[in-house]
């Protein structure tokens, strides 16, 4: 099977997200890195792209140049990944979708709910794939959890409890470090800090595993380092459309937590637990029974998990291959095999609506607030 | 040193709490089981007490008989433990304090805030010890955590996150079982279910370790099993007097959690973590440094933890000896050595005020509510 | 039920083992501390015993005085615990057995195999209980493991792997500290260092859980701190009478291990795992199935584990209550209810034979050596 | 930087190791998959190679055809990976080295010590790289452990304890399954079963981390499933050239262990612990200090670990990227930057010598046996 052609915008030298996408796209030999506009400095971007093996004529100086040139080529790229600063996601995503490209956009897909709704409409009109990189949902054991929920193995879900907390912004003496500060500055980060940065991964995960949507929420935000305008710690209670109760904690001042992204799902007949720092196990307890450890790759596991497991049971696979799983789904989808686990534009706008609802609720002393985008009410 | 004399009310044959107190009082040879009124059925109570070694003349039929007889004896008991049904705690505690006995009362100390405030006043007037059995706070590593906080080892505390969740009431088909049902029936349990049962342990723990008090809170309650009138799952956000942000989750439908009582404390210069299922370790991370495992009994540990460690490092001590630690503190206190770690009547009334505030907040869609007893506002 | 009367020899002020026995005997209210000869310094021993509540006439200056006086009393103690220096165990145990007392002897029961065989004969002739304090075998989950093996739940046992390793003697600069040094000095410790100190606990545990006996062994000893004459690290391979293969590692220089006493048992149809630092769980995997976590106190657990569980599921019980479990078994046995889990004189002599066999094997470059006492060959 | 050209022999459709190598070589965009002879059935091999993107003229029917054709090309592959059945490794590796290709050979490099020594000589004479895929040694935290040992952070190493045990061959009813049976049949597996299959990974790891070589050993082998001629469980004690004591357990009947590859290293001033199922942490305890958790990617970590960490701290990387790390080292080495962590032919022959020594020792009742290849004695 010939490789698909892949292009990337943003993710230049020194970025964290660039290498993750390049590994994700290439690890399984599914995509060829064919075109790029990697840097806001045109020359650096062109040079770096060529160093990474992109041919000179497709190493572009900016995304507009890339859009124009690729649109004109008969062998245009099959997929464009957008990993530019958050505030530019909307414009670039929209432009490429309208030109008929499939897109994988980094989160957040947009800065406002209105923009998000527009992307949903544009994607629909274009008939192209618009995916959003909620890559944690592509871990095999998360796919398994979702499959188990869908097949009723834990009964109707009563309660989902999730957190995504770290302590890497916990040092007040480091709070003015530009790499940290921008996240808590509304001029750069928008309306929300930690909730928009990490919380929405957890919120997406809850919706994904429960196969449901957040309907309303109540939020409590705190700036535990006083110089921060935006929150560095947040608690969000929510209710899903199907009645599930949700609890979400996110923090960037939880010193000692490296990357505590955990989720617990409690249903009528069982409970599930997953922790991102040990992603190859899913902990399952049937009601009245013993806790069991389900291993990635174990015999007889659900196909949804099996197809994303590359190596034998108990050989751990980690975060970079969760990103690669998104690309596996994309390759399948581009070739016409629907992958309903692939997060899309609807997920993107729902996240944005939840962020804005949480901000409003937090300002309103925790008042319960509709968390749905108007288009999905 | 002669043993102190100890009496018990409630905790008869078949109760869970009775053996825990008897072990706690006797494990270290500090108390002699001298008097008892163990059962609401006088004859059974007398017989069982004698079986446990109490002499016939001090094996009483009910607490009033015990109060009268012990008051009259020159060798009256030094301490009375009250482990009767919750609704009777107030009356019995009050009576024994007024007669000049030291009391250890099971939680909750009272059913209302008003009763709680009365106990505080009575205890003060009597000059006697009125302790409440928040026994988790007597684990050596919790005492260490508090000592570290007090001595500034993690700086000013920004955030405390705690949960006490289990799944033992998660089976809806078991919801009518009388041993389960009463906890969710206002006629028997009062205004709150899971929060009053387990949540207040976590709330006390947060206050204890942070050495501060809860000032206001916002609560979200859910009855995830619809037949329950009271909540089986609750999330409570709070603020302490000193400004610390708090997050508390408690649940009885978290299938797969056996007894998840955990606490995390995050300060300006470090974080702490403790889990009740592995109570002999305290996890400590200095800001910018590596996570360290502090072991009960390790060399050079703070005296507050060392004095409650009976066996060498890495020989685990568990829940029954945490209860015994309360008795160690009581023995010291009775002999005149103040033990400020011993939870008292003030802790009892503060818990009750928080329960009532949480109920009110939850009914009011999470409105922030003063959580302090009027006497401490 | 009246308390049994209990006496103790050794375990004076400042000893580690003394408090463990006093807690073990008294925690469940089964024994009354009635007589003692706690110290080789008569006056200190008498004073300390009285401080602990022993009446003056039964606070003895030495074990001979205690033997004579107690033998003469109509209300003599029901049980004597011997916690004196190792080299004296034989003489005292023998004397008390011959005088008709039940005995609990600290390990090692004797220093030589010949002495061990004599104790077996004396105990048999006396008709009294001679127990040896292999207290780890009294953890509820170890009793459960043994019950599961006996009932065939993991099939015929193929392999048992155990280790008891710590790093508390790993500091060479501390090697001359008298509290450490004696263990590696043949004049004080006998023929073996770490294997005789900790290894025999693991060897007993393997035999106990597999319900079988060690037949032959091959040992590799090392003195990793060169100044030590006796080994501080040992590996022992063994075969049981029933054919089970055994592997045992013990070390006192494993820096970072606090108290790593673990055992794994692998049979034809399943595997079990237990770790002393988390003693309240037993990990069970049926062949071809998922790993399950069995919790102390969970519903429907085997009676052998249930009877030694004091508090509800997931409330941890630790080392001091494992010692207390030995006393529970003793109380039952004294009252005539056989407890075949109670380690006895036969266990004591088998351990000693294994120590001597291991020493011989290690000197002989690992040659396979009969590990059985002559009387059991 | 242009990609290097990579060829593969073996690893055809349905093999486990093939995808692991393809991911490893391509994940970081370092190698282009340029040539292949994937299957012993020429047509299947050619077709599968083309499906994977290899051009038709370099999709070969067998390794001899590939050797001849690639030798003749000016753009010959920079690296050949050999993932054929074990008994063919020697012949193919030798032929490609002699023709001037760099080689990565799967383990075991050869079946005999003599063949292994010949490869060492051929590789030396050719001046080419001959690497062996001991990929576990390429985990970042293992590289860190080795760097810490080399820099004296735990002092002289006294003791190394390692095991590699699983239970996937523990079902006797499955023992005749051809995928399992061949490993215990001398006609197919050679002189050793489990030790040659998994044990040598652990032995290599011990040598690698300690930066030393195994000098002598004593082995105990067992066929716990009686129908097996070769061992399914082995214990090997060893001594390193520098005096370090070693203990290695390997088993394939340890039901419940998924993939228990652990190593503990104990030195004069500290201990280290690593577990392959949680490969992103290294546990470190300084003598007399507290246990610390070192995280992959944490700030200030040794360059040897940092260069092989792709994503931020606490984002796990797993087994496939450990294989990719071998390819990173190979790409560097091909370009002239020496990577002394890359396992080579010397490691291959040392493993083989240890296997033969262990077999001899086990037959000789555990007699201590020289474990070195004659050429390194």
Answer yes or no: do B290 and D292 touch at CB < 8 A.
yes
CB-CB under 8 Å, C222 with D220: no
Residue C26: the pLDDT is 93
The pLDDT of residue D1 = 67
Find, in chain D, the residue whose alpha carbon is nearest to that of A2: D53
Distance from CA of A368 to the nearest CA of B (A): 7
Residue in B291, B295, B298 nearest the CB of D292: B291
Residue from D258, D281, D294, D322 whose CB has the most chain A CBs within 10 Å, to mutate: D258
Q: Are C222 and C366 in contact (CB under 8 A)?
A: no
User: Do A228 and A252 touch, CB atoms closer than 8 A?
Assistant: no
D→B contacts (Cβ < 8 Å), by residue, are: 288, 290-295, 298-299
C-beta atoms of A256 and B365 within 8 A: no
Task: End-to-end CA distance of chain B: give it in Å, rounded.
Answer: 43
User: Rounded to 5 degrees, what angle do the CA atoms B348, B350, B356 make?
Assistant: 105
Interchain proximity D3–A53, CB inside 8 Å: yes
CA of C310 to nearest chain D CA: how many angstroms apart? Answer: 29
Residue D176 — pLDDT band, cuts 50, 70, 90?
Answer: confident
| Residue D321: both structure tokens together | 């990227």
| Sign (positive or negative) of CA dihedral C321, C324, C326, C331 | negative
Cα–Cα separations (whole angstroms), residue C231 to C197, C222, C258, D241: 11, 5, 19, 20
What chain D holds in terms of domains, given with CATH numbers, is: 4-135 (3.40.50.720), 137-312+345-363 (3.30.360.10)
- From the CB of residue A124, how many other CB atoms can be counted at a distance below 10 Å? 13
At C162 the pLDDT is: 98
The pLDDT of residue B1 is 67
- Residues D230-280 have pLDDT tens digits of 999 999 999 999 999 999 999 999 999 998 899 999 999 999 999 999 999
Sign of CA dihedral A28, A31, A34, A35: negative
Q: Which residues of C touch A291 (CB under 8 A)?
A: 292-293
Of A158, A268, A366, the CB nearest to B368: A366
Kindly report the nearest CA distance between residue B261 and chain A, in angstroms: 15
| Residue carrying the six token digits 């409105």 | B367
CA distance B294 to chain D (A): 7
Q: Do C266 and D158 touch (CB under 8 A)?
A: no
> Inter-chain contact B293–D291, Cβ cutoff 8 Å?
yes
Chain B residues closer than 8 Å to A285 by CB: 167, 255-256
Most D CBs within 10 A among C171, C227, C246, C255, hence the mutation to make, goes to C255
Instruction: Give residues with Cβ within 8 angstroms of B377, minimum separation 6.
Output: B370
pLDDT for C61 equals 97
Q: How far is C312 from chain D (nearest CA, A)?
A: 27
Distance CA B296, CA A336 (A): 59
Q: How much is the pLDDT for A176?
A: 86
Contact B237 A257 (CB under 8 A): no
Check residue A294 and give its pLDDT: 97
Backbone angles phi, psi at C52, to 5 degrees: -85, 5
Min Cα distance B272 → chain D (Å) is 14
What is the radius of gyration, based on Cα positions, of chain A?
20
Residue A2 to residue D313: CA distance in whole angstroms: 35
Tell me, what DSSP letter sits at residue D106?
P
In whole angstroms, give the CA distance from residue A25 to residue D336: 28
Helix (H, G, I), strand (E, B) or coil at A118: helix
Closest residue in C to D291 (Cα) is C256
End-to-end Cα distance, chain C:
43
The span from the CA of C131 to the CA of C129, in Å, is 6
D255/C285 Cβ within 8 A? yes
Contact B219, B374 (CB under 8 A): no
How far apart are alpha carbons A188 and B276 in whole angstroms? 42
CB D100 within 8 A of CB D128: yes
Give CA B285 to chain center in angstroms: 28
Q: Which residues of chain B have pLDDT under 70?
A: 1
User: Beta strand pairing status for A245-251 and A233-240?
Assistant: antiparallel
What's the confidence (pLDDT) of residue B314? 82
Distance from CA of C169 to the nearest CA of B (A): 13
Instruction: Measure A142 CA to nearest chain C CA, in Å.
Output: 18
Q: Do D224 and C158 touch (CB under 8 A)?
A: yes
Q: Which residue has the tokens 């929209």?
A: A94
Q: C122-140 burial, b for 16+ CB within 10 Å, e for fewer?
A: bbeebebbbbbbbbbbbbb
State the DSSP H helix or E strand holding residue C204, giving kind and residue range, or none if neither. Answer: helix C200-210
CB contact under 8 A, C293 and A290: yes
SS3 (DSSP) at B124: helix
Residue C291's H or E segment, with its range, is: strand C291-295
Q: How far apart are CA A32 and CA A20, in angstroms?
A: 15
Residues of chain D found within 8 Å of residue A278, distances taken between Cβ atoms? 278, 316
Q: How confident is the model at residue A11 (pLDDT cuts 50, 70, 90)?
A: very high
Q: How far apart are CA A360 and CA A373, in angstroms?
A: 14
Question: Neighbours of D (≥3 Cβ pairs closer than 8 A)?
Answer: A, B, C
DSSP string, D26-63: HTTS-EEEEEEE--SSHHHHHHHHHHTT--GGGB-SSH
Q: Which residues of B touch A166 (CB under 8 A)?
A: none
- Under 8 Å between Cβ of A277 and A258: yes
Q: Which residues of chain C have pLDDT under 50?
A: none
Within 8 A of C298 by CB-CB distance, chain A residues are 290
Which residue does chain A place closest to B159, by CA atoms? A224
Burial of C164 per CB tally in 10 Å (0-12, 13-18, 19+) = buried
Radius of gyration of chain C (CA): 20
For chain B, what is the largest distance between any 2 Cα atoms, rounded to a whole number of angstroms? 64
Separation in Å, CA A352 to CA A164, A198, A201: 17, 13, 11
What ipTM describes this predicted complex?
0.95
Residue of D nearest to C253 (CA): D266
Nearest CA in chain B to A172: B268
CB < 8 Å to B294, chain D: 290
Q: Does the distance separating the beta carbons of A235 and B247 come in below 8 Å? A: yes
Distance CA A271, CA B252 (A): 12
- pTM for this structure? 0.96
Chain A partners of B233 at a C-beta cutoff of 8 Å?
158-159, 245
Rounded Cα distance between C120 and C135, Å, is 19
Q: List all chains that touch chain A, counting a touch as 3 or more CB pairs closer than 8 Å.
A: B, C, D
DSSP, res B15: -
Cα–Cα distance measured from residue A294 to residue A372, given in angstroms and rounded to the nearest whole number: 34
pLDDT tens per residue, range A238-264: 999 999 999 999 999 999 999 889 999
* Angular region, D355: left φ>0, alpha ψ -120 to 50, beta rest: alpha
pLDDT at position C338 is 83
Interface test mutation site (partner B, options A256, A272, A275, A364, max chain B beta carbons within 10 A):
A256
**How crowded is residue D280: how many other Cβ atoms within 10 Å of its Cβ?**
25
Q: In DSSP terms, which residues pair with A245 in a beta bridge?
A: A159, A239
Looking at residue C211, its pLDDT comes to 97
Cα A43-A44-A49 angle, rounded to 5 deg: 100
Task: Count Cα neighbours of A219 within 13 Å in the Cβ-side half-sphere.
Answer: 28
Contact D133, D105 (CB under 8 A): yes
pLDDT at D168: 95
| Numbered residues of chain B with Cβ closer than 8 Å to any chain C Cβ | 1-3, 16, 19-20, 22-23, 26-29, 33, 51-53, 166, 168, 258-259, 276-280, 295, 310-321
Instruction: Say how far apart CA D17 and CA D38 lie, in whole Å.
Output: 11
User: CB-CB: which of B170, B245, B256 is closest to A222?
Assistant: B245
Query: In whole angstroms, what is the distance from residue C6 CA to residue B237 CA?
Result: 53
**Torsion, CA A46, CA A49, CA A54, CA A57, rounded to 10:** -10
Separation CA B116–CA B96 (nearest Å): 15
For residue B293, the chain A residue with the least C-alpha distance is A256
CA distance, residue C15 to nearest chain B CA (Å): 11
CB–CB contact C290 A299 (8 Å): no
- Residue A163 vs residue B14, higher pLDDT: A163
Which residues of chain A have a CB within 8 Å of the CB of B368?
A: 365-366
Q: Which residues of A touch B (CB under 8 A)?
A: 154, 158-159, 161, 167, 170-172, 218, 220, 222, 224-225, 233, 235, 237, 245, 247, 249, 251, 253-257, 264, 266-268, 270-273, 283-288, 291, 365-368
**Nearest Cα residue to A64 out of A85, A32, A88, A86:** A88
Burial of D278 (0-12, 13-18, 19+ CB in 10 A): middle
Residues of C at the B interface, defined by Cβ within 8 angstroms:
1-3, 16, 19-20, 22-23, 26-29, 33, 51-53, 166, 168, 258-259, 276-280, 295, 310-321
CB-based contacts of B135: which residues, under 8 Å, 6+ apart? B24, B319, B322, B323, B325, B326
* b/e sequence C325-349, b meaning 16+ C-beta within 10 Å: bbbbbbbebbeeeebebbbbbbbbb
Supply the pLDDT for residue A92.
98
Burial code (b: 16+ CB inside 10 Å, e: under 16) for D187-203 equals eebbbbbbbbbbbbbbb
| Exposed e or buried b per residue across A347-371, where buried means at least 16 C-beta atoms within 10 angstroms of its C-beta | bbbbbbbbbbbbbbbbeeebebbeb
Phi, psi of B193 (to 5 degrees): -95, -95
């Amino acid at each position: 099977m010939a490789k698909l052609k892949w292009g990337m915008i943003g993710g230049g030298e020194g970025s964290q997200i660039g290498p993750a996408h390049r590994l994700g796209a290439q690890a399984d030999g599914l995509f060829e890195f064919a075109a790029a506009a990697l840097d806001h400095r045109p020359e650096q971007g062109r040079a770096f792209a060529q160093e990474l093996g992109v041919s000179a004529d497709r190493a572009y100086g900016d995304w507009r140049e890339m859009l124009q040139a690729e649109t004109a080529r008969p062998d245009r790229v099959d997929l464009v990944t957008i990993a530019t600063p958050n505030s530019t996601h909307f414009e670039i995503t929209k432009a490429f979708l309208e030109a008929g490209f499939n897109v994988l956009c980094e989160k957040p897909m947009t800065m406002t709910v209105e923009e998000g709704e527009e992307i949903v409409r544009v994607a629909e009109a274009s008939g192209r794939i618009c995916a959003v990189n909620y890559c944690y949902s592509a871990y095999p054991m998360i796919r398994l959890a979702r499959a188990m929920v869908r097949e009723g193995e834990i009964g109707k879900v009563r309660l989902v409890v999730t957190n995504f907390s770290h302590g890497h912004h916990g040092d007040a003496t480091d709070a003015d470090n530009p790499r940290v500060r921008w996240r808590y500055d509304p001029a750069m980060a928008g309306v929300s800090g930690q909730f928009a940065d990490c919380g929405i991964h957890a919120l997406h995960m809850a919706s994904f595993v429960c196969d449901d949507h957040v309907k309303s929420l109540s939020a409590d935000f705190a700036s535990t380092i006083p110089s921060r305008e935006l929150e560095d710690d947040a608690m969000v209670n929510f209710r899903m459309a199907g009645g599930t109760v949700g609890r979400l904690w996110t923090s960037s001042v939880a010193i000692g937590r490296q990357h505590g992204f955990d989720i617990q799902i409690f249903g009528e007949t069982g409970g599930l637990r997953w922790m991102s720092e040990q992603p190859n196990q899913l902990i399952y307890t049937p009601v009245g029974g013993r806790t069991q450890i389900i291993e990635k790759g174990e015999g007889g596991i659900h196909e949804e998990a099996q197809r994303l497991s590359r190596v034998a049971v108990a050989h751990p696979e980690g975060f970079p291959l969760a990103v690669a799983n998104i690309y596996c789904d994309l390759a399948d989808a581009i070739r016409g095999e629907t992958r309903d686990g692939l997060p899309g534009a609807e997920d993107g706008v729902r996240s944005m609506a939840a962020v804005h609802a949480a901000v409003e609720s937090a300002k309103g002393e925790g008042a319960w607030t509709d968390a749905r985008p108007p288009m999905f009410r």
